Chains A and B, each alone.
Chain A
Amino acid sequence: MKQTVATLAIAGLLGLGLAGSAAATHPRHHAAASKSSDATVGAMPRVGGHPDLSGVWSVMNTANWDIEPHASSAALQLRPGPVVPVPAKDVVALGAIGSVPAGLGVVDGGTLPYTPDGLKQRDDNKAHYLERDPEIKCDLPGVPRANYMALPFQILQSDKSMMIAYEYAGAARNILFDDPGPAPTDSWMGQSVAKWDGDTLVVTVTGQLDSTWFDRAGNFHSGDMVVVERWTPVNANLIHYSATITDPATFSRPWTMNMNLYRHLGADAQLQQFKCVEFVEELLYGKLRKNPLP
């Protein structure tokens, strides 16, 4: 009995240590996690012996604008101005709504470890943002981007299975606990194979197309990218999320992003629909109308 207690205590310390080490690389997240570990908030409910992550979740950060640290700016795409860069012509009318909110970034170390060619491509993407960001066309977002868009998502988990429904574009992920082997073909959301590491859900995502981005800042990846997500419940209403990206074709080394996911509570815990396909028809097909709008 004493041995069991001692083992649990050690495991608890190890668990705290692991959680701490994940967050310690990014002090901002460490602080956020500490603050939210309020004793008045209970532990995550459990199902089938594991934390039950079911519910509606979202981030409170600006990673979807740019996963690197960034100051606020006038627009997602700029052009040279007489004094300072100004919004590209196509977004001028949006005014402050089209501007970019500042963000602390979510990448460990702050800067993405691009290869020289990768960095050139990212900068070119940024310069041609309006033509290239797949989000503009309402394309499926891929992983990890789906998890930190401005819109929430709902995890559905039982003791046997799990899926994630995203509000953005009605995207969905089938979280597989039985590894079916390599994905038969690449897809926008990839193939997610999960296992439990203690109370952390570890999901390895492979088979993603090279067509998705990380954010609205042109940060991209290749079709060889492997994403390992770690979903660690901190308390009933908070999940620490990390994703380690391995993509030698784009980055000089693997890198990790960290952030918090917050539970939507009460009446807010209802996923709405954002089937944006119909919203982009004018953009994609407007010129093909019988009578194009002026």
Chain B
Amino acid sequence: MGGKQLQPHPQVYRFMNFIVIGVNHQTAPVEVREKFAIPEARLAEATKSLASYPGIEEGMVVSTCNRVELVARTVNGTADLHGFVRQFYGFDPAPYREHLYEYREREAVRHVFRVASSLDSMVVGEPQILGQVKEAYATARAVGAVSSHLDALLTRAFAVAKRVRTETAIATSAVSVASVAVDLAKKIFGNLQGKTVYLVGAGKMCELAARHLLAHGAQKLYVANRTYDRALALAEKFDGEAIPFEQLYETVPNADIVISSTGAPHAIFRKEHGEKFLSRRKNRPMFFIDIAVPRDVDPEMNKLDGIFVYDIDDLSQVVSSHIADRRVEADRAEAIVQLEVDKFQSRLQTLDVVPTIVSLQEHLETVRQAEIDRVRGRMGTLTPEQEMAVEALTRGIINKIMHTPITTLKSAARESSEATTVIDLVRKLFGLRDAGKAAAAADEANAVGSGKPGAHN
């Protein structure tokens, strides 16, 4: 090293500029989550506008029945996501402040890992959330809202989720919403033998619940969906019958168990419907499982004799006892997540091209100095003009040489999958020292130099 102190680089901490805001089943009741929920059809649009909001480089939106989260990477560590909420939803998030949570940097990384690993789920360990996060990620990729760092974060989150699932017993004993629904159906109907299940909406959760119910003896399956083809596809899968959506109200009274998960903005089953169903059924009981947010079934319907309505929050209450049993496994899973956050941080540091550029510059500068010192002995004393000419010449040469590697590194940084390969290649070609050490050195220098609060653990 040329004895020169490394300058703290303003971009070194760029990799931790993550920010997450959202509402979930713990912080907000279903009435509030309904307000924030984004229907599948609008997800791409929401993701796109998030990513193009001022101050934000990359963005992703997760919207499930239990949570709505905006995940973003900002340009300089802060961004006015509340402003985005105001712009996108058209209402002021201030009244919901107590329900909204916000995580930054390491905490944001940890949160994303926990969500993907199903540690933040209503039913800890349930498998659906991973699929939902994956879908949100796919949507974000499709609209070009994620690139280098968010991409790396999500890829890692999926790996962490897999690790948690295989290394702890959390998933094996997981009580999914679907199996809770089966238990409740058994409490009402006893044996499910010969019972009829009606799916309203053809979503993943619906399908899962139907699979469970059929496995426990339910006999007949009807599927109604706004897009008839999807109803048909799902019905075929289970040997059921697809019903055109217009015939919904005439056919629902045939069902004992109705699982509803449409993206409808308003309730599609109201109390007066329930009264009609009951008279058609001669008061035989009906069980409505409402996993949609916003809810499909008016809670008033639960007041009718013989109709039992459980929404997603009610199911959570039923399973809350199971969660306690899995505390130990959850603690182990949390430890894995913590470890992975640390690993991710150092990995992102190696991903960062800045230390490589710095050491490339240092390396060439050292070479240049050494060569000048060597040649100077042979040339004797030079005039100040000659001295300056030599300086200019040598500097010009190394700057020209460095230009292409540096631009290549910078462009590689934007595409995370390339970055490591290019960094390794450059380091190998120029004989630079180990990337990890360089990053650590850069890190150290920054800790001294930048004084940025919260950026460092």
* Real binding pair: no
Which residues of B are interface residues toward A (Cβ below 8 A)? Answer: none
- Which residues of chain A have a CB within 8 Å of any CB of chain B? none
